[in-house]
Amino acid sequence: MKNHLIVYSLLFALFFSYSHAQTSNFVKDNYTKLDRQIAMRDGVKLYTVIYVPKDVSQSYPILMERTPYSAGPYGETNYTTNGPGPSKLLSEDKYIFVTQDVRGRYLSEGKFEEMTPHNFAKKTPKDTDESSDTYDTIEWLIKNIPQNNGRVGITGVSYPGFYASAALPDAHPALKAVSPQAPITDEFVGDDARHNGAFFLLDNFSFLSYFDAQPDKPVASFGGIFSNRAKDAYDFFLKLGPLKNANSAKYFNNKGKIWNEYLQHETYDDYWKSRNIRPALKNVKPATLVVGGWFDAEDLFGALRTYEAIEKQSPTTKNQIVMGPWTHGAWSRPEWTEFGPLNFGSNTSKYFQEELELKFFNYYLKDKGEWKAAEATMFNTGTNEWKTFDAWPPKNKEAKELHFQANGKLSWEETVTEDKDSFDEYVSDPAKPVPYTDGIFARRNNQYVIEDQRFAARRPDVLAYESDVLTEDVTFSGPMTAHFFASTTGTDADFIVKLIDILPEDAPNPSPNPKALTMAGYQRLVRAEVLRGKFRNSYEKPEPFVPNQVTDVKVRMPDVLHTFKKGHKIMVQIQSSWFPLVDRNPQKFMNISEADEKDFQKATIRVYHSKQHDSHLHVNTVK
């Protein structure tokens, strides 16, 4: 996430990057543009941009996106050169495409709320939320836009993915198909703001410097609160110091409403709970296709947990999931065959757009073609193969444990040593935090999610547990939990757990270029997650650690589908900082947004491994 110029460039590149394959006059030649302000039930008007096919020989369904990122270009003579749909294929197949500024964003009236809470008990006919705004918009469109066939679909990536999810409760009868893609879902537990309570500093500092700046009135464009031109993010945030320094006159200066809300609500209180859309996903009527990317640094959690919530709370809904080898929204690009040193052997975004997205909307909105997709269409990131399942996680999984043992060993065998004080230890120093990536980057290195972890393994403040060479392929599927026993000399601590695929020393390089990245011995990051230790038992009621007392810790990690091949090794790393991706923990039980420099202290962390304190990674395997 980015300053305002970077936000614009990335949004357009990400969600509309297929446009080069269409002629510059495609949209004007094939669509009529209408700009309308649609009144909601409380009188607030939302600015809505509509593209209607010029071919009047048939009727068309409506495919809609609701966004906080601008429905522009504005004005009926100003046509987008991209789209107008979410893909080239959908644009050419012809729909009535609708994009709407949500309340309080750009040219829409009203007050913007971060992740608008769902209103479970509307007491008057004028009570609103995102579900009612979507309902009112659909009602107006069905009655006022010519050539519509009475069916509506909704899609959206990231924040627009949240608005797609929010349309599902109490949906308009005309809403037949919804595809939440990388939807923001629960910002405290696993999406953009925090993960298991730990604040994602790097992304939010950059993103909110722009996003948090819109004035309380409709505007077509606006500037940011500040611009940060630092070239080395690690150095910049280390020198920035305690988190509260971000509110200095040079930066947010208390002008960031959402920034302040994020920091003021340090526990999982009603602010966060009300913004978790999952409890509202009950009695869902439209068909849903949830989409996510295994390499999504923003909302991997959101895709997986949105699908899960619909499955559990709306078991009769036609609800399906697709997870590919994609970064945030990369399935919308014209081509996605590789990422960093990884080559997938096929154009995975083209496959999604042709075989899944287009067929899903055509089937449910046009009665066109067939829809035979599996319950779960998942890309195996270890074998570069698409796999299908009749349930996710797979039903035929087998639970296993990888045990942390002395001398950095990772074993399928249970730990048998009777020495309850068998442990490994490191000193976590907030003045020298473990970097999340290797190298100097001005903004987030998007490839950190697959990066070689040898730079971290060499540090004395990172523990590494390594298996023997695998004698056969092993496939992990579904969620994982690192369950270990730890102690600290402080009263709080972060724990970052990383699952790593170690390639053999004779692994071939991806390129004949002698300067290309060597893959021999590459410690490929497969999945990583952080837990702010004071939330180990409850997000609502944090608890301090008792210094030097052995404590039970569980770090729940997002799902995987990854085959560790014969000849590879499996590694687990544990560390207590991941900077500046995650803000520094002072390792003192307190409200971190109020910490001063003097509050940050070194701590000695121990991870135990014995029969009594059997630290391990719980996984599920499939054949």
Residues 6+ apart with CB under 8 A from 137: 38, 40, 46, 48, 64, 66, 98, 100
Residue 513, strand partner residues: none
Could you give the angle at which helices 300-313 and 159-166 cross, rounded to 10 degrees?
A: 10
For residue 53, is the peptide bond before it cis, meaning its omega torsion is within 30 degrees of 0?
no
Alpha-carbon Rg for the chain in angstroms: 25
For residue 547, is the peptide bond before it cis, meaning its omega torsion is within 30 degrees of 0?
no
Torsion of CA 235, 241, 244, 249, to 10 degrees: -70
The CB density around residue 101, as the number of other CB atoms within 10 Å, is 27
Helix (H) / strand (E) containing 194: strand 194-195
Query: Residue 557 belongs to a domain with what CATH number?
Result: 2.60.120.260
Q: Which residue's entry shows tokens 């304190």?
A: 613
Tell me the C-alpha distance between 519 and 498, whole Å: 19
For residue 393, is the peptide bond before it cis, meaning its omega torsion is within 30 degrees of 0?
yes
Phi then psi for residue 239, to 5 deg, are -75, -25
Token pair belonging to 307: 């699908």
Has residue 291 got a pLDDT over 70?
Answer: yes
State the average pLDDT over residues 303-314. 98
Q: Give the distance, in angstroms, between the CA of residue 159 and the centroid of all CA atoms in the same chain.
A: 10
Q: What are 77-132's pLDDT values in tens digits?
A: 999 988 899 999 999 999 999 999 999 999 999 999 999 999 999 999 999 999 99
Residues 6+ apart with CB under 8 A from 425: 604, 605, 606, 607
Residue 279 and residue 411 in one domain: no
Asked if 525 and 498 touch (Cβ cutoff 8 Å), the reply is: yes
Q: Give the distance, in angstroms, between the CA of residue 67 and the centroid of all CA atoms in the same chain.
A: 17
End of a domain among 283, 301, 322? 283
Query: Residue 83 belongs to a domain with what CATH number?
Result: 3.40.50.1820
Mean residue pLDDT of the chain comes to 94
DSSP 311: H
Q: How far is residue 156 from each of residues 152, 161, 203, 278, 286, measured CA to CA in Å?
A: 14, 4, 20, 17, 15
End of a domain among 237, 252, 283? 283
Spatial CA neighbour of 433 closest among 239, 281, 278: 239
Asked if 558 and 530 touch (Cβ cutoff 8 Å), the reply is: no
Amino acid at 148: N
Q: What is the pLDDT of residue 17?
A: 42
Residue 532 and residue 409 in one domain: yes
End-to-end CA gap in the chain: 38
- Tell whether 486 is covered by a domain: yes
Token pair belonging to 181: 């893609």
Spatial CA neighbour of 100 closest among 143, 140, 71: 71
- Tell whether 11 is covered by a domain: yes
Number of domains in the chain: 2
Phi then psi for residue 463, to 5 deg, are -90, 140
Phi then psi for residue 306, to 5 deg, are -65, -50
Spatial CA neighbour of 528 closest among 496, 503, 495, 559: 496
For residue 84, is the peptide bond before it cis, meaning its omega torsion is within 30 degrees of 0?
yes
Spatial CA neighbour of 560 closest among 310, 296, 341: 296
Q: State which residues form the domain around 8.
A: 4-167+175-186+275-283
Has residue 3 got a pLDDT over 80?
Answer: no
Q: Which residue's entry shows tokens 């990690």?
A: 557
Q: What is the pLDDT of residue 14?
A: 44
Residue 405 and residue 550 in one domain: yes
Q: Which residue's entry shows tokens 């995650």?
A: 582
pLDDT band at 12 (very low <50, low <70, confident <90, very high): very low
- Tell whether 489 is covered by a domain: yes
Asked if 364 and 154 touch (Cβ cutoff 8 Å), the reply is: no
End of a domain among 239, 267, 283? 283
pLDDT band at 517 (very low <50, low <70, confident <90, very high): low
Helix (H) / strand (E) containing 39: strand 31-39
- Tell whether 389 is covered by a domain: no
- Tell whether 107 is covered by a domain: yes
Q: What are 556-586's pLDDT values in tens digits?
A: 999 999 999 999 999 999 999 999 999 999 9
pLDDT band at 511 (very low <50, low <70, confident <90, very high): low
pLDDT band at 493 (very low <50, low <70, confident <90, very high): very high
Has residue 516 got a pLDDT over 70?
Answer: no
State the average pLDDT over residues 123-143. 97
State the average pLDDT over residues 310-331. 98
Residue 478 and residue 604 in one domain: yes
- Tell whether 100 is covered by a domain: yes
- Tell whether 463 is covered by a domain: yes
pTM of the full predicted structure?
Answer: 0.95
Which 3 state secondary structure label does DSSP give 614? coil
- Tell whether 78 is covered by a domain: yes
Tell me the C-alpha distance between 235 and 551, whole Å: 33
State the average pLDDT over residues 205-214. 98
pLDDT band at 417 (very low <50, low <70, confident <90, very high): confident
Token pair belonging to 116: 């608008």
Q: What is the pLDDT of residue 426?
A: 98
Spatial CA neighbour of 97 closest among 39, 46, 34: 34
Spatial CA neighbour of 584 closest among 428, 426, 424, 427: 428
Residue 279 and residue 412 in one domain: no
Torsion of CA 475, 564, 345, 445, to 10 degrees: 110
Which 3 state secondary structure label does DSSP give 11? helix
Has residue 156 got a pLDDT over 80?
Answer: yes
Helix (H) / strand (E) containing 569: strand 569-575
Cα angle 572, 575, 577 (rounded to 5 degrees) comes to 140
Spatial CA neighbour of 330 closest among 2, 6, 14: 14
Tell me the C-alpha distance between 623 and 616, whole Å: 22
Asked if 510 and 495 touch (Cβ cutoff 8 Å), the reply is: no
Has residue 368 got a pLDDT over 80?
Answer: yes
Pure H helices in 41-156: 88-93, 130-144
Which 3 state secondary structure label does DSSP give 425? strand
Phi then psi for residue 396, to 5 deg, are -90, 25
